[in-house]
Structure 1
Amino acid sequence: MGSSEEPDRTSLLHDSSSPTHPLLSKSYPSPSISEPQPESSEPDQTQFLQISYNYGPRPFKDLPFLILFLVVVLCTFGFGIFAVVNRNPNSSSVSSYSYDSSSTSCVKNSTASLKQQPISDYLKLSSSSHFLKDLIWTLVVTLILSIPFSWLLLLSLKNYTKQVVYASLPFFVVMPIFFDVYWFVACTVSSSCSEAFPLVYRILLLVFVFLFIGVIVWIIVANWHRIELTVDIIGIASHSLSRNLGLFVVLPCLTFSLVIYYAPIVVFLVFARLNGKIVPRESSGEYYCVWKQDSWVPAYYTLAILTMLWSATAMVELQVYVISGTIAQWYFAKDHDSTPKRSIRSSLRNALGPSSGTVCLSGLLICAVHVVRAAVDSARQEELQGIVNLMLRCCVNALLTAIDFLNKFTINFAAITGEAYCTSARMTYELLKRNLLSAVFVETVSSRILGGIVFVFSAIYAIVACAILKAVSNLGADAYFVAALAWVLLILVLGFFVHVLDNVIDTVYVCYAIDRDRGEVCKQEVHEVYVNLPIRRNHRSSLANRTVGV
């Protein structure tokens, strides 16, 4: 009411020196639009440039890690070609060799008996041909139907987000109860199953599943007040993804290219087993011939497997980079009603060009985290005792968690700005710290709800597929196995869709933080939703002033 006594909120929004304006840091100045700042011949190196999407040419970053990745790949392919050329053709005919005492070596027998395959094996093969035929056709139909299913799910989440989420929540409980009770009754009726699983074990499994269902119910009730906000966040992400549908062409092509890249490495691993020689071995005074691999074969297996792991994690980060760059261009577009042209192409060019080293470094860190975590889990299964081992595992788990947290939004930020990995990690941490936003909520609740929707959708499809198989085929009990494989395949395809949508949510979150940091509103509908995200308690009051101004 009294304008002379109350400060203007708009002026506070663009005044970075105001103490009531915590979201614009002095390290990231936001100059006034009407008053251009004079260029300084000696810029302050302690200050960062204002964060925004980098449309211009980007310099190469983290180049040593790209060179290291190429060296590892070249070594894998080089030694693989050597393994193919140097293979021993006699590796599969050890039984045809016998020990010659005169030459103290293994020699090939003059006559080698050819073993014929028994007729019973052919009968077994012909009897299983129907099963293989039904299995292949079911998986092919499932793979074909997964494309319209993904499209239908995206449209549903875009236009009817609230209805889809609230309709799926009861099935989070109904589906596990149905499968649990159905399995218990079916196993009790079947004589073979009841003999393999006594009544006590069936009851214990039944009770355990019901306890797990109780945990699911508790999680839903405890987070009920967040469901509405999660619905809005999923709706925003679905709308963003629907404006960039070209991602559903590029991302599967990248995955297919990884499979093609894996094919020769798998061939090299197969031929690496054939590198060695047949040598005599003594046991209880008797000599016999065995196959002995060359000493370098285990080392090559290690190199090839690590190369495949690093390539897989780098491909995941490459896809995240392309998603983030594409969504960020849509978010910061000057024309709010249109999608920038060639945004996917420019993001892919940046990912495979200037930021390829950053992608390789991020993939290497994730690969190292997975390998170390697998080693820790293996050590835990071996039940190593001692306080030192316990403390070591705790320290390693804390370090791995810190790396996961650091890497959470780093690649998203690198796709937006084109900065190096370490610079992106530092600037992302400072950006989120200044804006006091809670990324945990965005990561957990929305991901779990999307995963639950995919589970429900896939389970309904598996039930329908099982009913159809029982009606039109003679599979019998094998119909459950075929339907389970179709369920797994559909979950993998829809899980890829959820993975893309999760990365869209993360990218929009980072773009929203950049908007708040600059005091701008590029997408009003995003701000209306993300402004309700939880913030740090000790800065809630000061942020309330900022949100009103925005």
Structure 2
Amino acid sequence: MGNSEEPNKPISLYESSSSPSTPLLAKPEDPPPPPSPYPDQPESDPTQYLQISYNHDPRPFKDLPFLILFVLVVLATFGVGIFAIFHRNTNYSNLSSYEYDSDSTSCVKNTSLSSPTNWASLTSSSSSFLRGLTWTLVITLILSLPIGFSLLWLLKNYAKQVVYASLPFFILFPIFFDVYWFVACTISSSCSEAFPLVYRILLLVFVLLVVGVIVWIFVANWHRIELTICIIGVSSDALSRNLGLFGVLPFLTFGLVVYYAPIVVFLVFARLNGKIAAQESDGVYSCVWKQDAWVPAYYALAILTMLWSLTVMVEAQVFVISGTVSQWYFTKEDSTPRRIIRSSLRNAFGPSFGTVCLSGLLIGVVRIVRTIVDGARQEHRTGVLNLVLRCCVNALLSAIDFLNKFTIIFAAITGEAYCSSARMTYELLKRNLLSAVFVETISTRLLAGIIFVLSAIYAIVACAILKAVSNLGVDSYFVAALAWVLLILVLGFFVHVLDNVIDTVYVCYAIDRDRGEVCKQDVHEVYVNLPISRNHRPSSMITRTLGV
């Protein structure tokens, strides 16, 4: 390399800051590469990060200890569960036939006592209610699929119109339900007696104040809403090109339910392991069921296995979504590559399954610790130290939860181990000065608000139809509320997938920006407007700005 400088030559992404005249990875006779499309990108060592892209090569197994640990936990749960089935005590169902024998100081079976089985007959007070509930839920489940795909199509082509049409309902619906409840409770004698006028007025004013806060949030973040609409639009387009995910992800959920079925059976039979023993209370002896000492431990093991398996399946779904969308993103042609979902599934449950297990374990621990912290808060434990500890713990858990999402996305793209993915993801976003919090918060809340509005509109229409064609009376409100919950769950699944697509496209854009390439021009036209993170501004940025 020569030491001569050319002051009029632009700095390339692939040039060293110490020797700007010659590319670092090019031969001396090669022409210099074009300037970076992102002149504000900080310089870094190109030899370390140029290879970040989707890894199509065969991947080695990563995080094997956690894979082995997960398999051992599952095998232990199933092994002890099978033992519990064959080791059960059949006398459990005949407990009422045993009585205490003072001569032998033990419980013996009294053959004169019969153990009749009294089955409680579960009858419906109204057959029309069950019929109306069943038909409403079935029709809602059937209609939820076209409603979800229609919402995806609308977000892809008319995201701005959908968001602007939904925003007023974020305010109108709370006001409507608040005023409706206030009037209905005032008219009803039973409700007015349970809630005096002062409490009804306080609740009415409180909800109106909350609505005022929502309006203020909209006004203060209006410029961010404009950008978020564009992000939702391009991400919906990415999801529409990978619709096969909607066939695979529910299948994975169904597989988790099938996997849970034998564990539930093991838990039922585990409680049958024990013996009938005498118990003394206030000088009176009775026969009770005494479980074996290992049964509570098995209950804890089985429940922890189910929780870990749940978080592993959730992280595996994120892995599959990320791997599928990233393969589409890094394909520069307009056509979608073939078998990308199959490839993502193979990586998720193959070489990277240990990484998925570790990610699921961390998320499970975060959820358990957060539940403990919330439980301690509900116990009204006072003190400055407790308050500070809760704030620190919540901040740490939020940071782990936030970092984990982008770590599993990066692992799905590159096939790296969990710790390497976490470090490289942090450095990738830090080098490119991107603000991940912006993408994480606003888009999620907007999508949640949209499905809430659609579900509420559907529930109102369903309630009106039920009142017109049935004689359910006040039960129609309960049926409509259940239909509202069911539609929210189905649309929430669509939004969950779209939310992960937004994060995946975001990481892919960061990789593009880091490499100085443009794989999807429409994505870059939107994501280039993301706010720059002010937390990390290296000196090279300042130097370049001053023209030095």
Same fold? TM cut 0.5: yes
* Aligned-partner Cα distance in 1 for 2:521–2:47: 32
Sort the Cα spacing of 1:540 and 1:446 in 2 relative to 1 into closer, same or farther, 3 A.
farther
* Aligned-partner Cα distance in 2 for 1:249–1:546: 49
Sort the Cα spacing of 1:215 and 1:245 in 2 relative to 1 into closer, same or farther, 3 A.
same
Q: Within 5 Å, which residues of 2 pair with 1:347-366?
A: 347-366=344-363
Sort the Cα spacing of 1:294 and 1:206 in 2 relative to 1 into closer, same or farther, 3 A.
farther
Which residue in 2 is equivalent to 1:246? 244
Q: Within 5 Å, which residues of 2 pair with 1:177-196?
A: 177-196=175-194
> In structure 2, the residue corresponding to 1:532 is in which secondary structure?
coil
- The Cα offsets for residues 115-164 of structure 1, whole Å up to 9 and x where unpaired, read as 6869xx75x71424433332222222211111111100000000111100
Q: Which residue, out of 371, 374, 378, partners 1:377? A: 374
Sort the Cα spacing of 1:207 and 1:282 in 2 relative to 1 into closer, same or farther, 3 A.
same
Question: Retained in 2: the 8 A contact 1:462–1:484?
Answer: yes
Deviation of residue 472 (structure 1)? 2.2
Sort the Cα spacing of 1:30 and 1:522 in 2 relative to 1 into closer, same or farther, 3 A.
farther
- The Cα offsets for residues 257-290 of structure 1, whole Å up to 9 and x where unpaired, read as 1111111111222222222222221122111122
Matched residue type, 2:148 = S
- The Cα offsets for residues 331-351 of structure 1, whole Å up to 9 and x where unpaired, read as 11031x111111111111111
Which residue in 2 is equivalent to 1:261? 259
Q: Within 5 Å, which residues of 2 pair with 1:118-197?
A: 122=121, 125-197=123-195
Find out whether 1:476 has 2:473 as its counterpart: yes
Sort the Cα spacing of 1:125 and 1:530 in 2 relative to 1 into closer, same or farther, 3 A.
same
- The Cα offsets for residues 421-473 of structure 1, whole Å up to 9 and x where unpaired, read as 00000000000000000011100111110000000000011111111222222
Structure 1 stretch 150-159 or stretch 383-392: which is displaced more? Answer: 383-392
Q: Within 5 Å, which residues of 2 pair with 1:85-484?
A: 85-113=86-114, 122=121, 125-335=123-333, 337-484=334-481
Which residue in 1 is equivalent to 2:38? none
- The Cα offsets for residues 82-123 of structure 1, whole Å up to 9 and x where unpaired, read as 2222223332443332211111112233233566869xx75x
Deviation of residue 388 (structure 1)? 4.5
Which residue in 1 is equivalent to 2:39? none
- The Cα offsets for residues 301-341 of structure 1, whole Å up to 9 and x where unpaired, read as 11111111111111111011111111111111031x11111
Identity rate, percent: 75
- The Cα offsets for residues 384-417 of structure 1, whole Å up to 9 and x where unpaired, read as 3455544443432232123123213000100110
Q: Within 5 Å, which residues of 2 pair with 1:21-40?
A: 35=30
Sort the Cα spacing of 1:288 and 1:351 in 2 relative to 1 into closer, same or farther, 3 A.
same
* Aligned-partner Cα distance in 1 for 2:279–2:450: 59
- The Cα offsets for residues 170-189 of structure 1, whole Å up to 9 and x where unpaired, read as 00011111111222222222
Deviation of residue 212 (structure 1)? 1.9
Sort the Cα spacing of 1:81 and 1:517 in 2 relative to 1 into closer, same or farther, 3 A.
same
- Scaled by the length of structure 1, the TM-score of the pair is 0.89
* Aligned-partner Cα distance in 2 for 1:299–1:128: 44
* Aligned-partner Cα distance in 2 for 1:364–1:49: 31
Question: Retained in 1: the 8 A contact 2:332–2:520?
Answer: no
Matched residue type, 1:421 = Y
Which residue in 1 is equivalent to 2:63? 62
Structure 1 stretch 434-443 or stretch 98-107: which is displaced more? Answer: 98-107
Sort the Cα spacing of 1:110 and 1:156 in 2 relative to 1 into closer, same or farther, 3 A.
same
Which residue in 2 is equivalent to 1:501? 498
* Aligned-partner Cα distance in 2 for 1:466–1:19: 72
* Aligned-partner Cα distance in 2 for 1:45–1:87: 64
* Aligned-partner Cα distance in 2 for 1:18–1:187: 76
* Aligned-partner Cα distance in 1 for 2:331–2:29: 21
Sort the Cα spacing of 1:94 and 1:133 in 2 relative to 1 into closer, same or farther, 3 A.
farther
Deviation of residue 36 (structure 1)? 11
* Aligned-partner Cα distance in 1 for 2:480–2:374: 32
Sort the Cα spacing of 1:544 and 1:495 in 2 relative to 1 into closer, same or farther, 3 A.
farther
- Scaled by the length of structure 2, the TM-score of the pair is 0.89
Sort the Cα spacing of 1:32 and 1:209 in 2 relative to 1 into closer, same or farther, 3 A.
farther
Unaligned stretches of 5+ residues in structure 1? 21-25, 38-43
> In structure 2, the residue corresponding to 1:12 is in which secondary structure?
coil
Deviation of residue 204 (structure 1)? 2.6
Matched residue type, 1:532 = N
Which residue in 2 is equivalent to 1:83? 84
> In structure 2, the residue corresponding to 1:521 is in which secondary structure?
coil
> In structure 1, the residue corresponding to 2:290 is in which secondary structure?
strand
Matched residue type, 2:74 = V
Question: Retained in 2: the 8 A contact 1:320–1:503?
Answer: yes
| Residue-pair matches, total | 526
Unaligned stretches of 5+ residues in structure 2? 33-44
* Aligned-partner Cα distance in 2 for 1:270–1:47: 54
* Aligned-partner Cα distance in 2 for 1:494–1:269: 33
Sort the Cα spacing of 1:261 and 1:116 in 2 relative to 1 into closer, same or farther, 3 A.
closer
Question: Retained in 2: the 8 A contact 1:12–1:18?
Answer: no
Matched residue type, 2:177 = F
Sort the Cα spacing of 1:18 and 1:225 in 2 relative to 1 into closer, same or farther, 3 A.
farther
Sort the Cα spacing of 1:403 and 1:34 in 2 relative to 1 into closer, same or farther, 3 A.
farther
Deviation of residue 293 (structure 1)? 2.0
> In structure 1, the residue corresponding to 2:278 is in which secondary structure?
strand
Question: Retained in 2: the 8 A contact 1:281–1:288?
Answer: yes
Which residue in 2 is equivalent to 1:15? 15
* Aligned-partner Cα distance in 2 for 1:30–1:405: 35
Which residue in 2 is equivalent to 1:51? 52
> In structure 2, the residue corresponding to 1:384 is in which secondary structure?
coil
* Aligned-partner Cα distance in 2 for 1:81–1:510: 45
> In structure 2, the residue corresponding to 1:125 is in which secondary structure?
coil
Sort the Cα spacing of 1:19 and 1:541 in 2 relative to 1 into closer, same or farther, 3 A.
farther
* Aligned-partner Cα distance in 2 for 1:189–1:457: 29
Which residue in 2 is equivalent to 1:41? none
Question: Retained in 2: the 8 A contact 1:13–1:546?
Answer: no
Sort the Cα spacing of 1:139 and 1:507 in 2 relative to 1 into closer, same or farther, 3 A.
same
Sort the Cα spacing of 1:459 and 1:501 in 2 relative to 1 into closer, same or farther, 3 A.
same
* Aligned-partner Cα distance in 1 for 2:319–2:361: 15
Sort the Cα spacing of 1:324 and 1:126 in 2 relative to 1 into closer, same or farther, 3 A.
closer
* Aligned-partner Cα distance in 2 for 1:116–1:396: 52
* Aligned-partner Cα distance in 1 for 2:472–2:314: 38
Sort the Cα spacing of 1:196 and 1:545 in 2 relative to 1 into closer, same or farther, 3 A.
farther
